[in-house]
Structure 1
Amino acid sequence: MITLRVDAETMSKIRFSFSPANEAMYWLRIAATGNEHPVFGDPGPLARAALAHPDVALLASLVPPPGVTYVPDFLTPQPGLGNHCAELFDEQIATVEATSQDILEFQVGAGIQENWGKPPPDVVLRAAESGLMQKRVASGLAQFWKESLAEIWPQLQSVIDQDIAARVATLRTRGLARMLNTAHPVIAWTGDSILLDKGWCGEHDFSGRDLVLAPGVLCWPNVLVQGPDDAVLYLPAHRIGAGTSRSGNDLGAVIGDARAMLLAELEKARSTTDLARRLGYTPGTISYHLSAMHRVGLVTKTRDGRFVLYQRTPQARALLPD
């Protein structure tokens, strides 16, 4: 359990925004590792081509290894008070470029060593020691956004805007506690702390800090915390499956018809054989799709005797229409 300690000042300063820098870093991470997003799939040739730019390549060297979430915080500054993506992103790029040398060296040195369990790559150390790393990674972040995200971002931001509007409506009609307790299944409000059921233990003191709640689409389905200096709680946007495909606006267009049908069937736990019988696919095809969805956290699997049973996760439920 991760505990975020807060006080009255923190709670009075909670606000909603979104982080273009964090979204770009997640898209870059997927492109650099050759993986696929659980909803949006392959980042595409434009994102991969952008990796050839030397400043984007340096930024990609800060992508954490599998199983690790830590990215140096200076790359994803707390979003400011602007309402428009261009304004927020320009401010974040300027903040990255203005990072002090002491903060940069600590985060890419001790921060990476502690969280990755190994020293940073040599290319990162050389760039940090040169004093030019801030400018280069800021340039890389802006370049990657321009090449791979600028064109499609308005469609994605509409999902974030709708998500923020829904959360604000809950805050207005049901109160702060209800809004936090319904923010995500792993989040709970105790009255003096925000708890994150993330499978490991930790504690952050956010007392007196400005806390930003930042829904995202490309970081979906992850809940992440950053701080305490730049205090941000990143939330996966609700109903991300609606209207977010570049080729259509239904769930089948986003994740494929077979996987959409599987998620619809997995309200209750079912075996591969049962699903194959119900949907008319071969067990091998069902197993292939279930394995892919299990890797990205859309389904769970448990053994019941000689059967393995699959069931959709709360994150997967958020993809389905009401």
Structure 2
Amino acid sequence: MAESSFAEFDFTSADLARLRFAFSPVGEAVASLRTLQDPGRHTLHLPWIRTVRPRLAGLDLRLLFALVPLGPYIADFLTPPPTQPLPDVGAELERVAAADPDEAAREAARVPGAGTPPVREFLADPAAGVARAAAELRLYWETALEAFWPQIRGLFESEVLRRSRQLARDGAGAMFNDLHPNITWRAGRLRVRTHGWRRSGPLDGDGMILIPSVFHWPDTPVMAEPYQPSLVYPAPGVGTVWSQGVVPTADALSALIGRTRARILVALGEAATTSILARRLSMAPGAISQHLKVLCESGLVTRQRSGREVFYQRSGLGHSLCAAS
């Protein structure tokens, strides 16, 4: 078992003012490489693994696997912190391709197993290595993640909206202490349990990016200098993300309320709007609305208005029905 350590960050008022949420398609792609290497630790994602492995048979992933090994450290140039709340995978891949070769080489030299042939070749010509890694990451994204991104993105959008409101309503302390058992906040200091990486000190007004993740579950990776400080945490509701076309809805639940309504009910483990559900399930918003109306009238789903938006979530009866199916 990896050694548990802690990264600690002292926040000023300026840091709190620069606290923001974002998510990263490239970051998820990189994290998923570890899921493929150790599926036994990530049984939650076995439906995705079974689906994508045949598609990956023709790809050479040796360099990416070498730069993203199992263990406490990866080559961070592959996961630049997101710069905008609505990510663009093309722009993120361009940032990977534009990584500084010298910094990329320093990071590659620190990964476990840096003596493997793919990493030695990378270190012999870092500029060419960065270009190759970025090209392979783009192909991997297109093959393994692009088709599933709408449902992952829907989960992230719902989570970012919920956490942003929690931060505004309850403050940073309550929000941080609710993120994950590895994360604690006390008297202006954020403490994150890590695997073998230590850090302690101020943020110096740089703020922090909070990044929900599907594939990093159940870990809470941290990134700091020389990058924008970032904290990645598992998004609640990860278990529902494969409900579209990868994880079949339970037969008993489908027989009771219909397959489409069963999928919607399963997807509502976390509150979501009609548009978020439509993206998550690849359905028309109008069709989602019709099924939500029936589910609400049946007492399986509740609705709550927040400003101009209406959020839907499973009721207690809906949770019970999903658990029993």
Instruction: Name the TM tier (shorter chain).
Output: 0.5 to 0.7
- Where structure 1 has 5 or more consecutive residues not aligned to the other structure, the ranges are 254-319
Do residues 53 (structure 1) and 59 (structure 2) align? yes
Aligned residue number for residue 223 of structure 1 = 220
Aligned residue number for residue 8 of structure 1 = 13
With over 3 angstroms needed to count, the CA separation of the structure-2 counterparts of 1:133 and 1:243, relative to structure 1, is closer
CA separation in 1, counterparts of 2:8 and 2:172?
18
Assess if the C-alpha contact under 8 Å between 1:4 and 1:204 holds in 2: yes
> Deviation at 1:15?
0.6
1:158-207 deviations in whole A, cap 9, x for unaligned? 11111112211211221122111111122111233211234757214432
Do residues 22 (structure 1) and 27 (structure 2) align? yes
Do residues 121 (structure 1) and 116 (structure 2) align? yes
Do residues 96 (structure 1) and 96 (structure 2) align? yes
Assess if the C-alpha contact under 8 Å between 1:6 and 1:193 holds in 2: yes
> Deviation at 1:229?
2.5
What is the identity, as a one-letter code, of the residue corresponding to 1:189?
W
Aligned residue number for residue 73 of structure 1 = 76
Moved >6 Å (runs of 4+): none
- TM-score by length of structure 1 reads 0.68
Do residues 37 (structure 1) and 42 (structure 2) align? yes
With over 3 angstroms needed to count, the CA separation of the structure-2 counterparts of 1:192 and 1:36, relative to structure 1, is closer
Equivalent residue of 1:3, what SS? strand
- TM-score by length of structure 2 reads 0.67
- Where structure 2 has 5 or more consecutive residues not aligned to the other structure, the ranges are 1-5, 254-321
What is the identity, as a one-letter code, of the residue corresponding to 2:238?
I
Equivalent residue of 2:46, what SS? coil
CA separation in 1, counterparts of 2:193 and 2:100?
33
CA separation in 2, counterparts of 1:236 and 1:248?
22
> Deviation at 1:136?
0.8
> Deviation at 1:46?
3.1
Q: How many residues align?
A: 244
CA separation in 2, counterparts of 1:218 and 1:242?
13
CA separation in 1, counterparts of 2:85 and 2:192?
28
Aligned residue number for residue 242 of structure 1 = 240
CA separation in 1, counterparts of 2:93 and 2:195?
33
Aligned residue number for residue 292 of structure 2 = none
1:259-286 deviations in whole A, cap 9, x for unaligned? xxxxxxxxxxxxxxxxxxxxxxxxxxxx
1:267-310 deviations in whole A, cap 9, x for unaligned? xxxxxxxxxxxxxxxxxxxxxxxxxxxxxxxxxxxxxxxxxxxx
CA separation in 2, counterparts of 1:34 and 1:120?
24
> Deviation at 1:234?
0.3
CA separation in 2, counterparts of 1:165 and 1:74?
28
> Deviation at 1:90?
1.8
Equivalent residue of 2:239, what SS? coil
> Deviation at 1:239?
2.3
What is the identity, as a one-letter code, of the residue corresponding to 1:91?
A
> Deviation at 1:249?
5.1
CA RMSD of aligned residues (A): 2.7
> Deviation at 1:58?
1.5
- Aligned-residue sequence identity (percent) comes to 23
With over 3 angstroms needed to count, the CA separation of the structure-2 counterparts of 1:48 and 1:140, relative to structure 1, is farther
Equivalent residue of 2:28, what SS? helix
What is the identity, as a one-letter code, of the residue corresponding to 2:80?
P
